[in-house]
Amino acid sequence: MSTAEDKQPHHHGNLRAALVAAGIAMLERGERFSLRAVAREVGVSQTAPYRHFPDKAHLEAAMASAGFETMKRRMETVLARSTPYSQVLTDLALSYVHFAAENPALYDLMFSISACGDDRLSVSAEVFALLEETVAEHYPRVDTYGLTTAGWSMAHGLASLYLSGQLPVTTAEELDARVTGAFSAVLSLAAADGP
């Protein structure tokens, strides 16, 4: 049976985006959420989210996709700066680790949910392609796919170790030094075959 609340129109230009943003905010605050809770957060009827997401899993998939989009934009910002080729991959890794440190719950969601008809995997592939293009440009004589995979894996590993408290750092500067040191060591090997 419908109620007056169910019949209230929503007044959002982009309700889907508002629901995703609210879900991410609730996730980062450590709040348990459901489609109804996200609807309350946005100020729409409890049934309004169902126009965009059949269930919580689909909302989470959209949140994960939004996380990858944000990560990609941050990496594009790094690439837009004029950075020496020897520093660009390290700067991308720092951007990756900073994203994880600033958005730990979203980062965890991005890599922990199973695909449910979402575009998370395609957005993740776009991030990988961006990294692969950068590697090909700066390290033309190495295995581009291999170095890209190694770089992503290393940044992901460092971020995950940091978030789980397994990387012994206490300040942002120490974290940056660890990331920079790790990438400098690996990239010095790649540079031996590089440009």
pLDDT of residue 118: 62
Which residue from 185, 94, 95, 190 is spatially nearest to 138, judged by alpha carbons? 190
Please report whether residue 10 resides in a domain: yes
Number of domains present in the structure of the chain: 2
* Contact residues for 112 (Cβ-Cβ < 8 A; gap 6+): none
Same domain (yes/no): 103, 165: yes
Is the pTM value of this prediction over 0.75?
yes
Please report whether residue 58 resides in a domain: no
The tokens for 124 are 């993740």
Same domain (yes/no): 69, 48: no
Residue that terminates a domain, selected from 53, 72, 93: 53
Compute how many other C-beta atoms are within 10 angstroms of the C-beta atom of residue 150.
Answer: 16
CATH of the domain at 101: 1.10.357.10
Per-residue pLDDT of the chain (195 residues; tens, 9 = 90+): 444 444 444 455 799 999 999 999 999 999 988 999 999 999 999 999 999 999 998 999 999 999 999 999 999 999 998 778 778 899 999 999 999 999 999 999 998 866 555 677 888 899 999 999 999 988 888 899 999 999 999 999 999 999 999 999 999 999 999 999 999 998 887 666 544
Same domain (yes/no): 73, 139: yes
* Contact residues for 82 (Cβ-Cβ < 8 A; gap 6+): none
pLDDT of residue 10: 46
Residues in the chain: 195
Q: What residue numbers bound the domain in which 37 lies?
A: 1-53
